[in-house]
Amino acid sequence: MALETTFDDLRTRLRHLDDMFGALCVTVVEDRPLERRLAGGVDGQVAAPVERAGDKVLEVNGWIAGAVESATDCSRAAAHPVDIEGARRALTACHEKFSRAAQEFSSELVSYERIAELMEFGEDRGGEPRAWTTGVIAALEQCRAPMNDVSHALFLCWQELTERLGIGGVSVQTTTIGQHIRGAAVQASQASRRLA
């Protein structure tokens, strides 16, 4: 697969994930249930599990949005004429941001403790909070496959980039006479002659 195509695929997969998290943000933050206390409480407060989920979804969404920007930089660097160093820097930035998003997603959003906390919140309150909790958990589950797709796309980008770097590689060999500097193509030609 060509470098540009691989990087474009990464950007497409990250945009899809970003869209999914945008929809998740609407569900978790804008459609969240509010506490309604009639005796002495403050109407309109947000329960702790709901607030915690909203904060984490917004944080992960921010990391994913940053990864999309870096993936766009990757695609620009991979376009003709290819800027390998620029592509490497942009891919590194993209990978760092996505890794942070993936870490927060797995440890703070879909961990057993967080899912149990949300389920308990929905069961305790019933009605609208229960429906909200069910929707949030389903939406989080739908994000798992796109997260894995992005992770795989990052792997393919690194693989393609390192292969590209290996094609134009230079070898330095020290002999008793001095140094010989040869391109990878010359070495491959000499190796094939030796095998013949």
Average pLDDT, the chain: 85
Q: State yes or no: pLDDT of 140 exceeds 70.
A: yes
The pair phi, psi for residue 165, each rounded to 5°, is -65, -35
164, 111, 134, 136: which is closest to 4 by C-alpha? 164
HSE-CB of 97 using CA atoms within 13 angstroms? 20
Residue 176: the pLDDT is 55
Segment 3-25 mean pLDDT: 96
Question: Model confidence over 160-189: pLDDT tens digits?
Answer: 999 988 865 544 455 555 455 555 555 555
User: CB 170: neighbour CB atoms within 10 A?
Assistant: 10
Residue 37: the pLDDT is 42
Residue 167: the pLDDT is 67
Architecture of domain 3-169 in this structure: Up-down Bundle (1.20)
Instruction: Cis check for the bond before 81: say yes or no (omega within 30 of 0).
Output: yes
Question: Model confidence over 40-55: pLDDT tens digits?
Answer: 444 455 688 889 999 9
Residue 41: the pLDDT is 43
Question: Model confidence over 62-119: pLDDT tens digits?
Answer: 999 999 999 999 999 999 899 999 999 999 999 999 999 999 999 999 999 999 999 9
Share of the chain above pLDDT 70, in %: 78
Q: Tokens 């990250």 — which residue?
A: 14
Residue 191: the pLDDT is 52
Residue 10: the pLDDT is 97
